[in-house]
Structure 1
C-alpha cells in the first residue's frame, strides 16, 4: 500500500449532481431552482441572520455588560502541578521559560501560582503573581517565591 493507490471505502462517496445539463438529465430547465423569483437568479445570496424582514435576533436581544480594558488575565498553576514537575525532573528554579517548555502555559501568558496541594522540595519559583497560601507553602518547604 502506498499513497498512489489509496481510495475511499466502497459506498463512501457519491457522484455529484450535474445540474443544468439539458432536459434529458432530469435536472435541466430550471436546474432545481424552481420558477422565477429572487432565489432563482444568479448572484443571489441571503444575508446571514436575515429573517425575512422580521426583527432579527441580534437586534431583538439587548446589549449588556462591558469589557474592562485594564483587566489582567492570569494562568493559574497549583502547587500540586509544581510538585509533580519536581518529581519528574528536579530543577532548582522554575521560571516562565521552564513552564512553557513543560507545556503548562503559552509563552505570552501571565502566571499566578495558587495554593492547592503541597510542595515538598525547595525550589525557587519565578511568576507574575502568587497567592498568600502558595508563598507560605513554598517558603515552608525551603524555597523562594520571586514576583516578576
Structure 2
C-alpha cells in the first residue's frame, strides 16, 4: 500500500454545496440565504440586539437570588431501589451508596450526592448510605429492618 493509494470508503465524504453558481443550480443568486439584508451578509451576530434600543433583557429588573453554593443531589426513590434489587442489579446484602447506584445504572452521574425519597415501599432489609434522605424514607427502611445512614446536617428535613 502506498500513500497515494489511500482513500476514504465510498460514501464517507460528501461534496460541498457550491453556492451562488447560477439559478439553474438550485442554490444560486442568494445562495440559500433568503433575501437581502443584514442576515444575508456574513459575520452576523444579533442575538438580543434590538437595533440600538435598550434590549429587553437589560430593561427588565433582576429579581431573586441564585445560590451558587447549593447542592445538586441525585434524587432516587425507594421504589427505584427496590426495583433494582428485585432485578438483581443491586446486591441487597451490600451497602447501597452512590457508587453502587451508578454501577447499577440508577443514576447517570454522581453530582453532590444522592438523596433518597420515600416513593414506594421496601420489602427487604437494606443498608443504604447516602448524603440525604427524607424522614419518611428513613422510617420505611427502618420499618423493614434495614438502616439508612445520612451524615449529620443542620437541615430540618434531613436526618
Q: TM-score scaled to structure 1, two decimals?
A: 0.69
Question: Partners of 1:68 and 1:14 in 2: how far apart?
Answer: 48
Tell me, what secondary structure is at the counterpart of 1:68? coil
* SS of structure 2 residue aligned to 1:4: coil
- C-alpha separation in 2, matches of 1:79 and 1:44: 53
What is the alpha-carbon root mean square deviation over aligned residues? 3.3
In the alignment, is the contact (CA less than 8 A) between 1:86 and 1:121 conserved in 2? no
Find the partner of 1:102 among 91, 98, 104: 104
Call closer, same or farther: CA 1:63–1:118 in 2, change over 3 Å: same
* Kept after mapping to 2: 8 A contact 1:123/1:143: yes
The whole-number CA distance in structure 2 between the counterparts of 1:130 and 1:64 is 31
**Residue of 4, 9, 28 corresponding to 2:9:** 4
Q: Aligned equivalents of 1:112 and 1:133: distance in 2?
A: 12
CA distance in 2, matches of 1:44, 1:125: 56
Equivalent residue runs for 1:61-100 within 5 Å: 61-89=60-88, 90-92=91-93, 93-100=95-102
Q: Which aligned pairs between 1:51-62 and structure 2 lie closer than 5 A?
A: 51-62=50-61
CA–CA separation in structure 2 for the residues paired with 1:56 and 1:65 = 20
Per the TM alignment, residue 145 of structure 1 is displaced from its structure 2 partner at its CA by 0.9
Which structure has the greater CA radius of gyration? 1
User: Residue 116 of structure 2 corresponds to which residue in structure 1?
Assistant: 113
Query: Relative to structure 1, is the Cα distance of residues 132 and 15 closer, same or farther in structure 2, using a 3 angstrom cutoff?
Result: closer
